[in-house]
Amino acid sequence: MTEPISITAVASISPLGTTLDEAWTAYQNPDPSFIQKKFDNRLEWVAPLSKSTMEAVIKLRKSDTRYKNLDNSVLFAILASRNALDLARWGGGDYFGINIGSSRGATSLFEKYHEEFLQKKKSSTLSSPTTTLGNISSWVAHDLRSKGPEISHSITCSTSLHSLLNGVAWLKGGMTNKFLVGGSEAPLTPFTLAQIKALKIYSHENERFPCRALDLEKKRNSMVLGEGASVACLEMGISDSTLAIIEGIGYATEVLRNNTSISTEANCFQRSMKMALGKIKPEEVDVIVTHTPGTVKGDLSEFKAIEKVFCNKIPFLTTNKWKVGHTFGASGILSIEMAILMLQKQKTIAAPFRKKQESPKSVKTVLVNAVGFGGNAVSVLLSK
């Protein structure tokens, strides 16, 4: 990339908290954010928002009669976006684009309205407008009073990094100078959990770390679901507000072998990482924030792709899914937030299952990976 694009703010609503300081403090705590919650009379591991954060969500819902029928995925995105605009010092009436996607969308409302339909054989008046995919970006734009384009999409678990790619494209195309990008997910519902369990990838571990993301020796799948929203403000150029510079972006897909998996050596990740690196030498990358969802094959295939690209000098590897679970479409920008914290603090955040690594002397470049069902891989290279 020849013209610099900066991330001038990043904000999230997640099990880690609602500010960068809260997230950093949470990362210093070696324990994960999981609790056991009942779904259909069975206890399952999940990573929910804190009680105080959910109180803020409820307060937002009650603040406007138009918000009372919105799904939590929309409310999470509104709160995160408000925080991001405050940090970036963007005005509510400024011209900026919005692209906030979701893998699952309005999960709670879908389940509520479908159950209602089965019982009454009719649907509520607002069932359609409150469950459409564009619902998130539209309501965020309404809340922020923005004047730019509103875009929504779903590219499964790489959704929010694809939003970042899209924002970069708009900025490079000269169609706007600012773009708010991210993802939001509220998947802690009975049917969503049942879908993931049906894939035989959900955690059954009864130990300190139910999700063993980046544990390459595990014998059982250990994915755990989390909820939240994560967004970032992109701007052309470098300023005093710059948190990180986007040095490179990469993307790739694979030919589908089945509905869920990627190839043994994650060819999509190999291509996306090489594209993101561009002319930068692999040995110049200090840290990789991996996608590693906690599944046996998923974690190992990404590691094999990293081995192929980085050969004998593998960077410091980490992930946050052992801590906050898999937040689907929101996970990519949550990983960006983690990367920015390491760039700011000049300190790595370790995953508990990578004990033999040596931390780099300084953190100057961080590569962030995400991939969704079907091998939709994205890699983003950040620098300080």
HSE, CB side, 13 Å, CA atoms: give it for residue 16.
32
Percent of the chain with pLDDT over 70: 98
What is the per-residue pLDDT for 36?
A: 96
What is the per-residue pLDDT for 261?
A: 67
3-state helix, strand, coil in the chain (%, to 5): 35, 20, 40
Rg, the chain, Cα only: 20
What is the per-residue pLDDT for 263?
A: 86
Amino acid at 378: V
Q: What is the mean pLDDT of residues 185-208?
A: 95
What is the per-residue pLDDT for 260?
A: 60
Q: How confident is the model at residue 40 (pLDDT cuts 50, 70, 90)?
A: confident
What is the per-residue pLDDT for 255?
A: 79
What is the per-residue pLDDT for 168?
A: 97
List the 287-289 sheet strands across, edge first. 150-151, 97-101, 178-185, 228-236, 5-13, 244-252, 376-383, 365-372, 287-289, 316-318
Buried/exposed code over 206-217 (b: 16+ C-beta within 10 A; e: otherwise): eeebbbbbbbee
The CA-CA-CA angle for residues 363, 367, 370, to 5°, reads: 145
1 has pLDDT over 70: no
Reference 288, options 309, 267, 271, 268; nearest CA is 309
Neighbouring C-beta atoms of residue 263, cutoff 10 Å = 16
Structural domains in the chain, sorted by start: 5-383 (3.40.47.10)
Please write the tens of the pLDDT for every residue from 201-218.
999 988 999 999 999 999
Averaged pLDDT of the chain = 95
Dist CA 268 CA 270 (whole Å): 5
CB 15 within 8 A of CB 325: yes
Task: Report the relative pairing of strands 42-47 and 35-39 from DSSP bridges.
Answer: antiparallel
Please write the tens of the pLDDT for every residue from 73-86.
999 999 999 999 99
- End-to-end, the C-alpha distance of the chain in Å comes to 16
Dist CA 320 CA 245 (whole Å): 21
Please write the tens of the pLDDT for every residue from 132-154.
988 999 999 999 999 899 999 99
CB 144 within 8 A of CB 11: no
Residues β-bridged to residue 228? 185
What is the per-residue pLDDT for 162?
A: 98
Please write the tens of the pLDDT for every residue from 336-364.
999 999 999 999 999 999 888 999 999 99
Chain centre distance of CA 170:
21
331 has pLDDT over 60: yes
What pTM was computed for the model?
Answer: 0.96
Amino acid at 366: V
Total residue count of the chain as it appears in this document: 384
Q: What is the mean pLDDT of residues 242-246?
A: 98
Strand, coil or helix: 148: coil
What is the per-residue pLDDT for 373?
A: 81
What is the per-residue pLDDT for 258?
A: 65
Extract the tokens encoding 27: 């990362």
Dist CA 203 CA 200 (whole Å): 9
246 has pLDDT over 80: yes
What is the per-residue pLDDT for 5?
A: 97
Per-residue 3-state assignment (H helix, E strand, C coil) for 267-301: HHHHHHHHHHHCCCCHHHCCEEECCCCCCHHHHHH
Helices 72-88 and 51-63 sit at what angle, rounded to 10 degrees?
A: 90
